[in-house]
């Protein structure tokens, strides 16, 4: 039972970290706030977001392997597959902003150029899509935790 509690805690901590840092990206990636410090900060914030996402995945898998319900219960439940699909979609959507932040930092460091307004708006929209999809994952999680979708 102690292991189950520790795994649940680590999973929730990773999720909260991921949510905080995607929210930070959304808050920072605004035309009216864009400056050299923000360009640099977006890269660091995105890196922590990525690390948190890896931690979410690792702790989630650990819960299925070493948690009380076990792999047979989790991996046969379609809600787990829905959660994983949404998580993968978010991961794929995060590639473009990550590459964009890297490009912005390189341009800033080489020429001092800040990103164009249209590009900032487009990137913020991509971050907001991720944030909204992330918000759907706990919905599947609460139903999964209560046994919905489990095979009898």
Three-class secondary structure of residue 149 per DSSP: coil
pLDDT at 63 over 80: yes
For 4-54, the pLDDT digits (tens) are 999 999 999 999 999 999 999 999 999 999 999 999 999 999 999 999 999
The three-class DSSP label of residue 33 is: helix
Cα separation, 55 vs 31, whole angstroms: 31
d(CA 116, CA 109): 16
Alpha helices in the chain (DSSP H): 2-28, 36-66, 70-75, 78-111, 117-145
At 151 the pLDDT is: 73
pLDDT tens, residue by residue, 92-128: 999 999 999 999 999 999 999 999 999 999 999 999 9
């Amino acid at each position: 039972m102690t292991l189950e509690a520790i795994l649940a805690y680590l999973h929730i901590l990773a999720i909260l970290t991921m949510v905080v840092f995607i929210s930070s990206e959304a808050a920072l990636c605004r035309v009216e706030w864009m400056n050299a410090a923000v360009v640099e900060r977006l890269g660091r914030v995105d890196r922590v977001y990525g690390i948190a996402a890896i931690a979410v995945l690792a702790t989630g898998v650990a819960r299925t392997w070493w948690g009380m319900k076990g792999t047979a219960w989790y991996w046969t439940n379609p809600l787990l597959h829905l959660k994983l699909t949404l998580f993968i979609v978010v991961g794929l959507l995060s590639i473009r902003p990550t590459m964009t932040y890297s490009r912005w930092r390189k341009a800033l460091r080489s020429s001092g150029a800040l990103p164009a307004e249209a590009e900032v708006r487009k990137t913020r929209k991509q971050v907001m899509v991720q944030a909204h999809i992330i918000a759907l994952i706990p919905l599947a999680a609460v139903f999964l935790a209560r046994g919905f979708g489990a095979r009898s």
